[in-house]
A and B are shown apart, each in its own frame.
Chain A
Amino acid sequence: MAVDALPDPSLRITPRRLGRNLLRSNPIIAIAAICLAVIVLMAIFAPLISPHDPQLLAPAQRLKPASAEYPLGTDAYGRDVLSRIFYGGRVSLLIGLGSAVFSVVIGLVIGLVSGFFKWVDAIMMRIMDGLMAIPAILLAIAVVSLSGASLMTVLVAITIPEVPRVARLVRSVVLTAREEPYVEAAISVGTSLPKIMWRHLMPNTVAPLIVQGTYVCASAILVEAILSFLGAGISPEIPTWGNIMAEGRAFFQIKPSLIFWPGLMLSIAILSVNLIGDAARDALDPRMKQREARP
């Protein structure tokens, strides 16, 4: 078929259009974005808005119900639950963001290289297959118990199992993009391989990586909470949502709110991140929207 018509400019994605599409497509997304923003602000300004020191033990005040002084009551050691939840958000978001960034960066490099070099691909993808065969939680518990529980080890433990997914995604994008004539054209004007990867291949991976990044973020927050809950995460005196719930478990029948509030925060945070990820996927992939438009 002859081609001489201008392509539809609406298929191009600008950041502003992306944002507008996100909000317009679904008001739930707006709610999710607001929730996430509130949680992020809470975490950032935790030292300012917390009524108490989250680690201050006050045995006399243990398991107090909600009051003006302790808005959500206190835990078994008399620590203020509200303050602990504020501070706990810091760990969760840091882990979520950190593992999203690390896994995307590492996965991007592995994916780009394996997409372009066949021999690297053969080796790398077998390693990735192996990593994917190990359950993520099991691997994380093993890593943490081998090298001690700190924020960094937990971060590494959570990031490792996410890397193969990102690497595979990038690799598949690169495998299709490298067949594009504009990549061949770049080869024929003498462009070096690193430059081809950076300039012509990498931009193709941005959209899927944003989406994948949000999923990694949500899953990392959850895995961190699970690790903490199992006692394999960050040491118990540091407040994380998982830790608060783990300690509250023993007093569930006396004071269910110890599990309820951090659990609620965890659910909202993960739900929000996932919803935003879904919306980003819809907005970045014009095909999805066309499918919806056509009944």
Chain B
Amino acid sequence: MTATTTAPVILDVNDLIISIGRKPDAHRIIDGVSLQVRQGETLCVVGESGSGKSVTSLTVMGLLPKKVLVPARGKITLAGEDILSASDRRLRQLRATTMAMIFQEPMTALNPVVPVGKQIDEVLRAHTNLDARARRERILAMMEQVRLPDVARIFKSYPHQLSGGQRQRIMIAMALVLEPKLLIADEPTTALDVTTQKQILSLIRDLQRDHGTAVLFITHDMGVVAEIADRVVVMRKGKVVETGALDAVLRAPTMEYTRNLLSSVPSLIPRAARPASSEPIVLQTESLGKVYRQRSTFGAAREVAAAQNVTLTLRKGRTLGIVGESGSGKSTVARCIVRLIDPTSGEVRLAGQDISTLSRPALRPHRKRIQIVFQDPYRSLNPRVTVGETIAEGPVNYGVPHAEAIKRAGELLELVDLPADAIARYPHQFSGGQRQRIAIARALALDPDVLVADEAVSALDVSVQAQVLDLLDEIQTRLGIALLFITHDLRVAAQICDEVVVMQHGRVVEQGPAGEILTNPQQAYTKQLLEAAPGRHWDFANFRPVAMTQHDAAAPV
């Protein structure tokens, strides 16, 4: 992190324009982007989806889909060599030796049918003259460097046998094995849990320090930016909005867009607690459990407990958050509560009535009292059904005449801030945030007592996320609905929840009021989660570092 302004420039992108097709009036995906990365420096390109940050990195790698996206103007210089005019052959050489890339999803970037060691070996075989033994030694050394355990075993492992974090380490090892001058990291930690993300970020930083690599780091997450960047480029709609040193951009953003972007990042400091509620309990689970049994013909059946002994209480008009990393069982609990899957033990009581063992027909009248909003707004709406019909589906199922249900759908669209003419349109005509509003309207159409939001804002851009959170808050105030909010994002939990349940490996680790859990956690795991939250020492919305509270005074900032 000690890049000086005198270090040589490794990557120089100058006034780059990328358009769709060759026509002079074609739409520009990238419109006049200039950026520089110096040796040993980390440049973070940050922006929302569609800002062109990934296209920029693909252009540098020479990986643009040919004839579809065309560089119309500008120059990219990598260590003195012009990339845009380089031949395919030369680019192939450069790609391993001078620049390397790691991707968001290591599972799809790795070949599933080749052991990972052999995949790294392919890079060395193609670009060096080392013999088999020397290559193996170098690979094992590289694997040690990315802090993989038991490297000899992992060398022979297939990607599916490794965890997400280990796979990303393999990708990093593969990228760095030839000591490239430039490393492009395109959202490398977005698919990982926070604790793993923290490890990968510090790994990239350490390797960069040891090797003097220039890093072009692409992310949408301001927290990650605060953790890793030396300098920041903010992009929007293919243009550079603002560029500057990390501190300058976070403390004193000059552009309106950057300010808004930073203000949208939810704070880790929990919002002021609402007074304790004495409203009736609408949802209660009593030692809820879900065990998956895998029967096998030979030997004993394998059992996996996805959730065990989960007891929680939700009152009318309140928000309960379930937080945890992937595999913690938080979604299993949500799906058991909505009875999309059947719990294997315990009770789910909706307004006092246990619904955990009801048969399908007996469950029907209770279904309308608890509704769910899913994570991915692109898959949770049937692409072949109009928005109006989607929203009206629930009420029609419960005997509301069709015309009336459609009329009500129109009112609901208004409630979620969508234009009334949305009713006759199809989901593909809406953006992700708008679709999530439609999904919320669908859930509200049945006037439920409880709304379960399963990672409902995780797939959205940060500014859209803020709007949807505001919407949920407003709906809660207006309708007095109870929210069960499942999220992996502690920032979101801090801003919306009254109570928080922390889960790990299917068990509840800690539960209590959000204010207490998120500022003064008692359990080691909760502390670990909080510590791993990226950028936790920055209060983005107020453009300053977080004032130290007692519990993190010990942690270095």
Q: Which residues of A contact B (CB under 8 A)?
A: 1-7, 9, 12, 180-182, 184-192, 195, 199-200, 203, 293-295
Contact = CB atoms under 8 A, between A and B. Distances in A.
Contacts of A9: 428-429
Contacts of B432: 2-5
6 contacts: A2-B459, A4-B431, A4-B464, A188-B338, A190-B398, A195-B397
Contact of A181 (B49, B371, B380): B380
B429 A187 contact: no
B367 A189 contact: yes
B387 interface: no
A185 B49 contact: no
Interface in B247-275: none
A190 B460 contact: no
Contacts of A188: 338, 340, 367, 370-372
A191 B371 CA distance: 13
A93 to B, nearest CB: 31
A182 B379 contact: yes
Interface of B: 48-50, 65-68, 104, 187, 190, 220, 338, 340, 364, 367-368, 370-372, 374-385, 393-394, 397-398, 428-433, 439, 442-443, 445-446, 459-462, 464
9 A-B pairs with the lowest CB-CB distances in the bound complex, closest first: A189-B394, A181-B380, A4-B432, A181-B374, A3-B432, A5-B50, A190-B397, A182-B382, A2-B461
B49 A4 contact: yes
- Which applies to chain B's interface (DSSP): helix, strand, loop or mixed? loop
Which of B50, B66, B382, B442 has the most chain A CB atoms closer than 10 A to its own CB? Answer: B382
Nearest to A9: B428
A3 B374 contact: no
B431 A191 contact: no
Given A190-B394, A294-B66, 19 more contacts: A1-B187, A1-B190, A2-B49, A2-B460, A3-B376, A3-B377, A3-B378, A3-B459, A4-B464, A6-B429, A12-B383, A12-B428, A181-B376, A182-B382, A184-B380, A185-B374, A186-B393, A187-B340, A190-B446
B445 A181 contact: no
A199 B378 CA distance: 18
A155 B100 CA distance: 61
Given A2-B49, A4-B50, A190 B340 contact: no
Given A1-B104, A7-B428, A189 B371 contact: yes
B397 A189 contact: yes
Contact of B397 (A180, A185, A192): A192
Contacts of B397: 189-192, 195
A182 B372 contact: no
Contact of A190 (B48, B364, B372, B461): B364
A200 B431 CA distance: 22
Contacts of A186: 382, 393
A199 B381 CA distance: 12
A203 B384 contact: yes
B379 A294 contact: no
Nearest to A200: B382
A190 B367 contact: yes
Given A182-B380, A187-B340, A3 B393 contact: no
A1 B375 CA distance: 12
A186 B461 CA distance: 26
B461 A4 contact: yes
Contacts of B376: 3, 181
A198 to B, nearest CB: 12
Contacts of A187: 340
B151 to A, nearest CB: 30
A185 B460 contact: no
